[in-house]
Amino acid sequence: MTQPQAFVGADVFDGKRLLTGQAVVVANGQPEILPPTTLSGSISLVTLQGGTFLPGFVDLQVNGGGGVMFNDSPDITCLTTIARAHSRLGTRAFLPTLITDTPAQTTAAIAAVTAAVELGVPGIIGLHLEGPHLSTSRKGAHDAALIRRMDDTDCAELSAAARTLPNLLITVAPESVTAAQISTLRDAGAIVFLGHSDCDFETAAAAFDAGAQGTTHLFNAMSQLTSRAPGLVGATLNTGAASCGLIADGIHVHPATIRSALAAKAGPGAVFLVTDAMACAGSDINQFMLNGRKILRNGGKLTLEDGTLAGADLDMARALRVMINEVGEPTEQAFARATSIPASLLRSPQGAGEWPDNESGLIYLTPDFRVLTVAELT
């Protein structure tokens, strides 16, 4: 049995509230929030110079990490590599994300994540399928040759996966699915989001009415909000219950635009942070391949060779720095967007986004937005 340790001098975010003047006591691997006045003399005291303790990040859009892409090799080895990379970046729960690919790769991804969940690979709590049922006109970095409409076989496979996996998030464009298919997937337990779509306001609104719950990476790869055509952006902001992911790297969306979205989505449908991380996350590689195309890493940005944005060179700590320092959001709310808010969208959050019962689920964010574990503080 190790000697209990108490950490003071840092703020504490418990998943809902930002607390000041509290101590984090770790005894037998279990972290507890206590007033410093209750600490006994037998506890080893560690004084920190600011920073915040909080639950590990929850990321619903992770395409790769540690030098590998999930699309390249949808298997346990690849998933374990990605999980380790994002764990070092502070993420404790995430959805591996398969970008538009062949039917065979989709089936393999479902099988790989099912196996990873059964084996208890740390951090993996489900699957995000971003495509292939999207719009070619808003494809972004997705391969247009692989984009297609959803058919009955696809819907049946995805419904079965939704019933099996703890969490299945599916990004679709309303142009490539029917309202009935959205309802079927929702009834099976899938979380249906809209994205990579050029649909008009009315079509998006109908998709939300059919059971879609939100929008993938708001503002990016979708019909925009204009004066007479609100598009998918306008439909998302206008639908109170619709949630939306946001890539807050200061590149994909301007801070002023983020502030407008936050003001519009102050109700139950909340904005949450995603990294849209690619193979370079947690690695020093400068390029990699996606569906046979080269992705270049330069200046905190990932692009195809033609300059098209291709995912993000982002981790959650950097997204928080942008939200707090550039957007100007209160710290407590920004932390929730990286933890408890995305966790609340999951069918089976498995404790993600809440104050953890084990120190492995706890992270410490330094004043300059670096992530450390409890073990690294002593």
Please list the active-site residues. Answer: 276
SS3 string, 233-286, reads HHHHHHCCCCEEEECCCCCCCCHHHHHHHHHHCCCCCCEEECCCECCCCCCCCC
Angle at Cα 299 formed by Cα 294 and Cα 305, nearest 5°?
A: 25
Q: Bridge partners of 64?
A: 69
Report whether the peptide linkage leading into residue 132 is cis, meaning its omega lies within 30 degrees of zero. yes
Q: Bridge partners of 303?
A: 296, 309
Residue 237 backbone phi and psi in degrees, to 5: -70, -25
Q: Which amino acid is at 9?
A: G
State the DSSP code for 364. E
Distances (CA, A) of 348 to 164, 169, 254, 344: 12, 12, 33, 9
For 50-89, give one letter per residue: b (16+ CB within 10 A) or e: ebbbbbbbbbbbbbbbbbbbbbbebebebbbbbbebbbeb
